[in-house]
A and B are shown apart, each in its own frame.
Chain A
Amino acid sequence: DIQMTQSPSTLSASVGDRVTITCRASQSISSWLAWYQQKPGKAPKLLIYDASSLESGVPSRFSGSGSGTEFTLTISSLQPDDFATYYCQQYNTYSGTFGQGTKVEIK
């Protein structure tokens, strides 16, 4: 099984900050990686797929990069609506392992 490791687990930031979350795969997954945002009591929301493709309707302050085993999600200017938990997910193999999540908190 491919393992996905996110860092940090928790991130404290202020509105307007540039935020970066990292996701590492235990083996190469090419660009088969997605990023999701989840708010309490809600289903996850797809932000980025195929490592760097922005899902329709998602603000352009969200961006993704990377390939192989190392990936990043960047929020260029954190907005009040962005305080949430973020998950990466690989879908390279016939499974879909998620990272453990990164909670973005208000500083």
Chain B
Amino acid sequence: EVQLVQSGAEVKKPGESLRISCKGSGYSFTTYWIGWVRQMPGKGLEWMGIIYPGNSDTTYSPSLQGQVTISADKSISTAYLQWSSLKASDTAMYYCARPIFSDYSTYGGAFEIWGQGTMVTVSS
């Protein structure tokens, strides 16, 4: 079964660092892009960025460039989303997602496989 399993919920204070994870299984992890999507409480979906684990090629949303770091460790089929200094406005549900196609040149299209989500709460 193809699946993405994300790390558990986190509660952090402003200024703290954090890395959440997304482990892929049941498919060739290195040949599909993995994207990250943010959903703030009561709000819509926001595309954050995407990484190709095969060569770590990464693209970020212009609005989030520099705010987060996306990485991947292909040896353990895991992608990461990382913050160096959290803000209260980072409070959100974060999803990882895999596109429907294994196509490096086009990001692979629509997101077919989704992780269960990781809730990040940042509060003093």
Contacts and interface: CB of A to CB of B under 8 A. Distances in A.
Interface residues of A, number: 23
A98 to B, nearest CB: 4
Given A32-B109, A96-B47, A98-B44, A43 B100 contact: no
Contacts of B112: 46, 49, 55
Given A97-B47, A98-B47, A49 B95 contact: no
Given A43-B115, A43-B117, A44-B95, A91 B110 contact: yes
A1 interface: yes
Interface of B: 35, 37, 44-47, 50, 59, 61-63, 95, 97, 99-100, 106-107, 109-112, 114-117
Interface of A: 1, 32, 34, 36, 38, 43-46, 49-50, 55, 87, 89, 91, 94-101
Top 4 nearest A-B pairs (CB, nearest first) are A34-B110, A49-B110, A43-B114, A96-B47
A98 B35 CA distance: 13
B109 A91 contact: yes
A95 B59 contact: yes
A32 B112 CA distance: 14
A49 B62 contact: no
A38 B95 CA distance: 13
Contact of A101 (B45, B63, B115): B45
